[in-house]
Structure 1
Amino acid sequence: MEAIQDWFLSQSGVIQALLATTFTWVLTALGAATVFFFKTASRKWLDGMLGFTGGVMIAASFWSLLAPAIEMSEDRGDSPWLAPAIGFGVGALFLFALDRFVPHLHINFKKEESEGPQTNWHRTTLLVLAITLHNIPEGLAVGVAFGAAAAGVPGAEIGAAIALAIGIGLQNFPEGIAVSMPLKRQGVSNRKSFWYGQLSAIVEPVAGVVGALAVFYMEPILPYALAFAAGAMIFVVIEEVVPESQRDKYTDISTLGFIGGFLVMMILDVSLG
């Protein structure tokens, strides 16, 4: 194990970001693979896991992204709030634009509730697109974190980047289930349900590499990039994750899941970072 750790730490930030986001994608695929072993998943459990996802993302947005962005701005002698505020706002607006112009359908929503431009695309395609939009900021966040740590940027630590990857990976597992199981209930085959479930996170390694490369070639924008990922993730949580988890009678379960996810991510970041 120590040899693997040493090998990982010896890699460039881009390779570390690629490996870390591949890890988060693999956990999504493992979650999606549950369709081969279980006939269904209860709505109570799915809502709890969606809440857990939201809690992880909110905690990661602050401890892994906004707090380092503020610290970096301060260390550079800049206004500690200006770059984080701009990056956060632009990140949220970026996801807002994608949400408006990319057809998609949130989990637990009916086909007629799809968002973005009207289209005749299949419900499955719209559902996968929604989760793909969700995963873009996650991949960017992990990539930027590893790129910053590898570049030796003050305030960026490899432990914090690893904690972020673990947290995102943990919430990706139930996310894979949340995509694949509803498809199975609609009569989609196990193989196709798994395929679409894992496909929703394949964008994460791509976004991770883009985030790491951005740090190396444009280091001055790092506080903006970290806050950008935070703003995008907060937008996803409020616009997508929370409403999806509150549509049935298990609102308390999803709320407790949210608290649990927040605690797990906070503990990971503080202990490893």
Structure 2
Amino acid sequence: MMPPAEELVALMTAAARAAGRAIMAVYAEPDIGVEAKADDSPVTRADLAAHDSITSTLSAACPQLPLLSEEGDLPPFDVRRQWQRYWLVDPLDGTKEFIRRSGEFTVNIALVEGGEAVLGVIYAPATNTLYAGQRMGQDRTTWRAWKINADGDQADIHSNPLAANASNMVVKLVASRDHGLDKTPALIGRLAAIWPQVEVKPMGSSLKMCLLAEGLADLYWRHGPTGEWDTAAAQAIVEAAGGGLFGMDGAPFRYNQRAGLTNPAFYAVGSVEPDWQALLADL
């Protein structure tokens, strides 16, 4: 029998904070052990230490739940497709930012159920800030997202409603520091045709989508490669806060639906009201 959502989120929070401590221990060292993975993306000793920490915490508490991590082994799809419920983890999201020592990196832990990310925790260890969301069930009035700051203060968060016909509104775009830069000017042009002012904030890791959830940004569009572990926790939090994350076909992301784990292009938004799909078409 599965523990209630509150206990699961508490477990995810503990796992994320423990992984954060492992990450920051490596962060403080002069040599963080950078290596290249098979796809030429970087991995550090912090990625691996966080993976080990999270796996130990979650597996000890819920041995019945499979765990899929960016830094772990990938079971065959014939095995994974049988999973009704599992953990989906990015132990260190924003490895490039970690290497740059920008502070913009996170621990991402999601619980996926029936292909949907229903619980999400994102922890930013450099600032000791944690975001969480639960959107279990179909009754959206029970969904909830919250933030715990470095002082331990907890507050519910909500995304920003954005009307497409409001001439006095500013639209806030968050963008990757490394991906999609060639498309950003065209996107700004389309946004400026609707809203009089467009603000752009470059940022690393899933913190971009955390800004959507707390109403500090409106749009994040990503057409470069990401993995399912990059988006699941953030999707749960953004949806619980009132926003959404969609493929370019306008459908919300679902997880573990195919053999590969590379996401297609997507957009995440604080408000689902504007016709984002039409606005972003053919960019």
Identify the TM-score tier after normalising by the shorter chain. Answer: under 0.3
Structure having the larger proportion of residues in helix = 1
Q: Report which of the two has the higher share of strand.
A: 2
Relative contact order higher in (CA < 8 Å, ≥ 6 apart): 1
